[in-house]
């Protein structure tokens, strides 16, 4: 593996190589006492073709995109709105009220003259138009790069319009694309505003014996539908999903839950902390990607509520769902066992999907995040030691205090301690590294060059990443599975999703088509004719 690292860095100028060397590590996390640190959440080297997206994408596309009854207006040139229009495959079920703005693309369509003279008037008109047309519960405004550069005040405009309407919550986000080093900054900006302007607004208590929030699950390819099916079957009430298949009211009611379950740690862990500080709701890390992980996560939830009735129900559901999963594994595993995969996805999936591949007997030989932070690699214990730089300081941390009339400790310190002693860990996440084998290659903010070089050097049986990597990898003759959009497949979460995934991976890694990448005449250019004079 050390040689692979050297090979990856060989072509770079010394300064670039030095920087990239700190973002590429050979995994030792499982064996050594003080594992090496990885550099993460830092600026991408200019000129390198990164896999990352921008802060606006993280705010508008990722966090706010999946909520159906909020009108999301992009304040900026039309390209930003257009590219974030339905590309993330976050599904929604409009239910009985049918209020669903996800299929629309709202934008102020900024022009040169707005850049010169200011775009606030145009934004105001756009908010008014959206309100007149739809009378939505809320309108959100997203700032693109030029908005920050010219200084349009989206917050002042939002406040003015909210006051004017009286029955529509309007708030904005300073989520200019350049605001942070990646999408991750956009998640934080979005979540801070949701927490400030929306969470806790609905004071009506919610029914349910075991009430949870599911944080960091975005219903890509219907994953959230499958998780909700399972939770419902177990008798667990999901008060709010942040933000897959969500509604305004779910965010507004999140304080009524008794436990927060965190799926994607990267995009939302601070919301779990804020819900705990303000309302007294403890949180645990869960993972519904992989059948075994799903079962484990359900058992953790049951353990928390500490009610034999729920424990039994959860075990019954697992016993009912697993035979089909096991039969699928039994059928497929002999064809997938021993194959190798590389996982390079945003900030969670490069970890979560490791479990699904393990169920197929496949091995992840190299993995990394586009924009994960050190805690997503090394575990939350490193958080106090993470260096704060100019870019991370730029992203606001909210100061949260217990709500004077709504804080309610869900468990006594003694109860929490007893649960911890029994093995249930609160506020805990070990990160990706300990789950990977020693010697596997961990790479932060992978780029186009390194992706191709890795494939050339290690020849994996499968490469998983996003749309930007898809075709360049396939042209190298390696099957490529998108773990962002799922290549229009999914769901892959929960029990039924796992089966779905096994079948697709079986077809992908065992397809003969990849051996026909070169046309016969490319391999054997035998048509060398000889000219014969008559």
Catalytic residues: 54, 57, 88, 187
- Interhelix angle 494-509/223-234, nearest 10 degrees: 140
Hey, which residues between 443 and 472 contact ligand HCA (CB under 6 A)?
466-468
Least separation in angstroms between residue 350's CB and ligand CFM is: 7
In this complex, which beta carbon is closest to ligand CFM, that of residue 183 or of residue 392? 183
In the list 41, 50, 183, 500, the residue contacting ligand HCA (rule: CB under 6 A) is 183
CB atoms within 10 A of CB 315: 15
Least separation in angstroms between residue 42's CB and ligand HCA is: 18
d(CA 499, CA 480): 19
d(CA 431, CA 380): 7
3-state helix, strand, coil in the chain (%, to 5): 45, 15, 40
In this complex, which beta carbon is closest to ligand CFM, that of residue 335 or of residue 468? 468
61 scored as a contact of ligand HCA (CB under 6 A)? yes
In this complex, which beta carbon is closest to ligand HCA, that of residue 337 or of residue 467? 467
468 binds, among ligand HCA, ligand CFM, none (CB under 5 to 8 A by kind): ligand HCA
Q: What dihedral angle (degrees, nearest 10) is formed by the CA atoms of 222, 228, 229, 232?
A: -170
Cβ(355)–Cβ(491) below 8 Å: no
Cβ(215)–Cβ(87) below 8 Å: no
In the list 484, 494, 497, 509, the residue contacting ligand HCA (rule: CB under 6 A) is 484
Tokens representing residue 179 in the block: 């605001």
Least separation in angstroms between residue 183's CB and ligand CFM is: 5
In this complex, which beta carbon is closest to ligand HCA, that of residue 87 or of residue 196? 87
Cβ(371)–Cβ(266) below 8 Å: yes
In this complex, which beta carbon is closest to ligand CFM, that of residue 172 or of residue 224? 224
CB atoms within 10 A of CB 280: 17
Q: 307-346 mask for ligand HCA (x: CB under 6 A)? A: ---------------------------------------x
Cβ(435)–Cβ(380) below 8 Å: no
Scanning the structure block, which residue is given the tokens 């945003």? 346
467 binds, among ligand CFM, ligand HCA, none (CB under 5 to 8 A by kind): ligand HCA
In this complex, which beta carbon is closest to ligand HCA, that of residue 472 or of residue 482? 482
The number of residues making up the chain comes to: 534
* Residue closest to 225 by CA, chosen among 240, 211, 244, 209: 244
In this complex, which beta carbon is closest to ligand HCA, that of residue 86 or of residue 517? 86
Least separation in angstroms between residue 287's CB and ligand CFM is: 11
Least separation in angstroms between residue 12's CB and ligand HCA is: 24
Least separation in angstroms between residue 13's CB and ligand CFM is: 29
Cβ partners under 8 Å of residue 203, min gap 6: none
Least separation in angstroms between residue 349's CB and ligand HCA is: 9
CB-nearest residue to ligand HCA: 466
The residue ranges that bind ligand CFM (CB under 6 A) are: 58, 62, 88, 183, 216, 218, 220, 264, 266-267, 345-349, 484
Cβ(90)–Cβ(66) below 8 Å: yes
Cβ partners under 8 Å of residue 51, min gap 6: 344, 370, 445, 446, 447, 448, 451, 465, 466, 468, 469
267 binds, among ligand CFM, ligand HCA, none (CB under 5 to 8 A by kind): ligand CFM
Cβ partners under 8 Å of residue 272, min gap 6: 215, 260, 262, 283, 427
Cβ(17)–Cβ(9) below 8 Å: yes
d(CA 344, CA 478): 15
CB atoms within 10 A of CB 511: 11
In this complex, which beta carbon is closest to ligand CFM, that of residue 182 or of residue 238? 182
Question: Which H/E stretch holds residue 240?
Answer: strand 236-243
Scanning the structure block, which residue is given the tokens 């035998």? 526
Q: 71-90 mask for ligand HCA (x: CB under 6 A)? A: ----------------xx--
* Residue closest to 187 by CA, chosen among 80, 83, 105, 265: 265
186 scored as a contact of ligand HCA (CB under 6 A)? no
Tokens representing residue 267 in the block: 């995009």
In this complex, which beta carbon is closest to ligand CFM, that of residue 87 or of residue 237? 87
Least separation in angstroms between residue 371's CB and ligand HCA is: 8
Least separation in angstroms between residue 518's CB and ligand HCA is: 27
Tokens representing residue 327 in the block: 């039969």
Q: 28-57 mask for ligand HCA (x: CB under 6 A)? A: -------------------------x---x
d(CA 119, CA 212): 42
Chain residues binding ligand HCA by CB under 6 A are 53, 57, 61, 87-88, 183, 346, 466-468, 482, 484-485
């Amino acid at each position: 593996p050390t040689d692979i690292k050297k090979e990856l860095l060989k072509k770079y100028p010394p300064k670039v190589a030095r920087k990239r060397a700190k973002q590429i590590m050979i995994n030792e996390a499982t064996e050594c006492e003080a594992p090496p640190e990885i550099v993460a959440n830092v600026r991408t080297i200019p000129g390198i073709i990164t896999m990352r997206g921008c802060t606006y994408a993280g705010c508008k596309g990722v966090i706010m995109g999946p909520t159906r009854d909020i009108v999301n207006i992009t304040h900026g040139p039309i390209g930003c709105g257009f590219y974030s229009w339905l590309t993330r495959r976050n599904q929604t079920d409009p239910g009985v009220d049918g209020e669903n703005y996800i299929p629309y693309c709202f934008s102020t369509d900024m022009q040169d003259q707005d850049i010169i003279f200011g775009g606030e008037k145009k934004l105001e008109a756009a908010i008014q138009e959206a309100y007149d047309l739809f009378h939505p519960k809320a309108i959100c405004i997203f700032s693109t790069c030029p908005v920050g550069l010219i200084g349009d005040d989206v917050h002042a405009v939002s406040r003015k319009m909210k006051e004017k309407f009286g029955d529509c919550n309007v708030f904005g986000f300073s989520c200019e694309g350049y605001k942070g080093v990646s999408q991750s900054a956009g998640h934080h900006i979005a979540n801070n505003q949701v927490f400030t302007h929306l969470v806790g607004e609905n004071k009506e208590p919610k029914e349910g014996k075991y009430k949870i929030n599911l944080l960091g699950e975005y219903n890509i390819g219907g994953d959230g539908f499958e998780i909700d099916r399972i939770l419902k079957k177990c008798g667990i009430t999901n008060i709010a999903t942040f933000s897959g298949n969500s509604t305004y009211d779910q965010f507004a009611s999140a304080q009524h839950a008794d436990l927060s379950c965190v799926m994607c740690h990267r995009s939302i862990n601070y919301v779990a902390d804020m819900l705990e500080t303000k309302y007294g709701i403890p949180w645990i890390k869960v993972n519904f990607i992989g059948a075994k992980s799903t079962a484990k996560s359900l058992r953790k939830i049951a353990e928390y509520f500490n009610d034999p009735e729920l424990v039994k129900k959860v075990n019954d559901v697992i016993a009912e769902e697993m035979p089909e999963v096991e039969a699928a594994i039994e059928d497929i595993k002999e064809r997938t066992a021993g194959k190798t995969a590389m996982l390079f996805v945003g900030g969670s999936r490069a970890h979560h999907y490791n479990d699904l591949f393990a169920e197929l007997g496949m091995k992840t030989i190299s993995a990394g995040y586009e924009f994960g932070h050190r805690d997503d690699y090394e575990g939350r214990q490193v958080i106090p030691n993470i260096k704060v730089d100019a870019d991370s300081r730029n992203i606001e941390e909210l100061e949260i205090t217990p709500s004077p009339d709504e804080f309610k400790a869900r468990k006594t310190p003694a109860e929490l301690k007893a649960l911890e002693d029994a093995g249930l860990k609160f506020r805990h996440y070990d990160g990706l590294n300990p789950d990977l084998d020693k010697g596997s290659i961990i790479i932060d903010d992978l780029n186009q060059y390194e992706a191709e070089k890795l494939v050339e050097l290690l020849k994996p049986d499968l490469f998983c990443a996003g749309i930007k990597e898809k075709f360049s990898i396939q042209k190298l003759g390696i099957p490529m599975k998108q773990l962002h959009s799922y290549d229009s497949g999914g769901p892959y979460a929960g029990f039924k999703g796992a089966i779905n995934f096994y079948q697709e991976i079986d077809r992908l890694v065992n397809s003969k088509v990849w051996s026909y990448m070169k046309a016969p005449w490319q391999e054997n250019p035998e048509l060398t004719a000889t000219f014969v004079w008559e």
